[in-house]
Amino acid sequence: AMSKTISEATTLGRGRQVERVFRVSLHTFLALGVLSSLIMLLFAHPLACLQGNALTAPSIRALSLSCFFVCAMASYRGYAQGQGNMTPTGISQVLEASIKLLAGLALAWYLLQRGLGSQYVSAGAIGGVTISGLVALAYLVLQHRRAAAHQPPLGDSPPDSTRHILKTMAQIAIPITICASVVPITTCLDSIQVQNLLQSALGHSPEASSALYGSFQKAVTIYNLPSALMVALTSSIVPAVSACLSRKDSRGAGQIAESALRVGALLAMPAGVGLALLSGPIIRMLFPNTNQEVASASLLVLGVASIFVCIQLLCSAILQAHGQVLLPVFQVALGSAAKLAVNYTLVQRPELGVKGAPVGTLVCFAVIALLQL
């Protein structure tokens, strides 16, 4: 929402509007970050108990500050992306990922050497996320100040009021957030539904159903990889298309959308087909101790599904850039309903069991992608 709003103002030469949007967004995001961090810090124990494991409380506290850092980073990344500059986002993400790994491992090893309990070692490992957020935020702040020193004059056009900016961003952001939340919520419901159906089919055996579901999740881990390649495209589509539409260049907006879909397809299709055709060897190489039949069969179907996931992500970004922010919500909701219906039909059949769950995922994203196309 922020990058879209800034892109439109930049295209129209409204420098003061760009600065006002950034300032309002930064203050809003910082307030959300402080609130989120305080909730995690002060209510770590109740949150841990809600998850069914009180030992995770130290980890929740160690992770709490990362909420603040993530919210602050979002404002600086949105500002840069809105001006067509993806470099700060890319470098900060590489910094974040690298330091998260190194700092988390180092802290966990140190606490393990000190003889502390597993809950504190876990907190050290997850503390790497918080440390990486601080370093990435520091880089973004420095980069922003350096860029601000070389900015041209802001121009004379008066900016919109703070209230109007907040209202505009909310109208864009809330539907996008709802759309983004439907899939995780459906995944959560899918997890509960599949495991309950498996227990019912296996004579209420939690151990057996957990083992089968665990094998299915191994395939899910790999199937998520192709969609990660779409993040760069979806992040750049929204401001680029919005800029074209702001200057009434519908042809340019169409060319950007077409190019994004073409590049996305060139990445997604070989990846998806490769995962499907090589599902057995991939599972044997990465997860030799899991249920090979279940995991391989699941990855075969999920490989095809990953193609539709990538198309859906790109189409959502294109529709949102064109102001169609509510339409993807209904399309995703329809796909999610189809997924739950297919699961209910297939998973409880003894000859299929958990192997019916990836079919539900394939149907879900095929429905969404076709509707969005």
> pLDDT means per 10 residues in the chain (373 residues)?
84 84 92 95 87 81 94 92 86 93 93 89 92 95 86 71 87 78 73 77 67 84 87 79 84 90 93 95 92 91 94 88 82 89 86 87 93 92
pLDDT of residue 200: 76
Q: Please give the Cα distance from 230 to 219 (Å, whole number).
A: 19
Which residue, 302, 353, 328, is CA-closest to 187?
302
Q: Measured between alpha carbons, how far is 22 from 16 in angstroms, rounded to an integer?
A: 10
In 3D, which of 292, 306, 313 has the Cα closest to residue 225? 306
Q: How many CA atoms lie within 13 A of 232 on its CB side?
A: 13
Give strand ranges (E) for 132-264.
Answer: none
Q: Is the pTM of this model over 0.75?
A: no
| CA atoms of 340 and 360, how far apart (whole Å) | 7
Give the pLDDT confidence score for residue 204 in this predicted structure: 55
How confident is the model at residue 282, as a pLDDT? 95
In the prediction, which pLDDT does 270 show?
96
- What was the pLDDT predicted at 280? 93
* Residue 339 near residue 186 (C-beta atoms within 8 A): yes
Rounded distance between C-alpha atoms, residue 173 and residue 323, angstroms: 11
- 355 neighbors 197 (Cβ within 8 angstroms): no
Task: Provide the sign of the torsion angle of the four alpha carbons 303, 305, 309, 310, taken in this order.
Answer: positive
Cβ-based neighbour number of residue 138 at 10 Å: 13
* Residue from 267, 321, 278 nearest 300 by CA: 278
